[in-house]
Amino acid sequence: MYNHNTCIVGLVESAQMAKAPVQKFADRISKFFVPLVIMLSFFTWLSWFLAGKFHGYPKSWIPKSMDSFQLALQFGIFVMVIACPRALGLATPTAVMVGTGVGASQGVLIKGGQALESAHKSGLHCVRQDRDSTIGKPLVVNTRLMKNIVLREFYELVAAAEVNSEHPLAKAIVEYAKKFREDEENPAGLEAHDFASITGHGVKAIVQGREIIVGNKSLMVDQNIAVPLDAEDYLAEAEGLAQTGILVAIDGEVAGVLAISDPLKPGAQEVITILKSMNVRSIMVTGDNWGTANSIANEVGIDTVIAEAKPDHQKAEKVKELQASGYTVAMVGDGINDSPALVAADVGMAIGAGTNIAIEAADIVLMKSRFPLYFL
């Protein structure tokens, strides 16, 4: 995890050293404006000095404590102090330093002024379904067996196939399967061979000589496995409850369906409402099925959903499409597969509980998984 103190200090220091685009613009103006102000203040002093020398104004204008030279010098200094572009040269870097410092103290690491400026201009906010809008701790809530198989044996096979996967849903299945273990002295369970992870779809492996495939409906179709009507109905029922349906095939036949739920984060709906009030449009981009994605989107108040998106390229392509339409896009993600989209977005925001690659690719890192209302 990317929450070590040295990492935080390094991010904050590099952010405070970086120049925002508006600061670079101010520096370009200052390069010409400062000499102009110096010349103007010099000519102000010279004009008043010559006017005093040749009696161009009444002597009563000169205070008793000074002479005409000092009066002219005073006016020249006035022009220098008032017209000097100190705000251009100092205000922006000071604002960046204070902003990044305050953000860091609140658990929001901002990687420089560019991120701050782009975030301010952002008019569209892309979120993923898992972890961005939910708490990121999925749980198996129901199981429907389609074949005559003991539930314990079923979960032993499924867990053996999923144990090598890094996906949050796979971890939830493996954790749930532990309660069916009879041999507590062998926590590793059965061994899987020829494990393969199909990005955005699921996994397959050989367990005890049996081919186990765990994933979504698209994976079953790709593997030429027929999905029974009972399984279709159960998937639709789970999706209507904002749950993710996972199909399990054993030796080429669907043997069961798992329903996995991930509760919404507290405050998710409130954040979306605040974004709407700021005229920031929110879009959900997820690799999950359309039914589950739409159910969650309706709960939090998101109107636009892009589901079943391939993680390797479709998310980044969608970000580029939105940018081409004139939007300034902010993308929130936490996984390796989100990195291309985070880089493509005008502002990439990573969840601190995510992968290091995603955090490195992002412009802003939210160290806490909860929604930071103060940041909005």
Active-site residue set: 130
Rounded-to-integer distance, Cα 157 and Cα 207, Å: 6
Q: How far apart are CA 218 and CA 249, in angstroms?
A: 13
Q: Is 372 exposed, middle or buried (0-12, 13-18, 19+ CB in 10 A)?
A: middle
SS3 state of residue 70: helix
Q: CB-side exposure of 21: number of CA atoms within 13 Å?
A: 8
**Alpha carbon distances (Å) from 287 to 65, 76, 215:** 80, 66, 12
* Contact in structure between 275 and 282 (CB atoms under 8 Å): yes
Which amino acid, residue 181?
A: R
Contact predicate 140/168, CB 8 Å: no
Could you give phi then psi for residue 109, rounded to 5 degrees?
-95, 115
Containing H/E element for 211?
strand 210-215
Residue 280 token pair: 């920031």
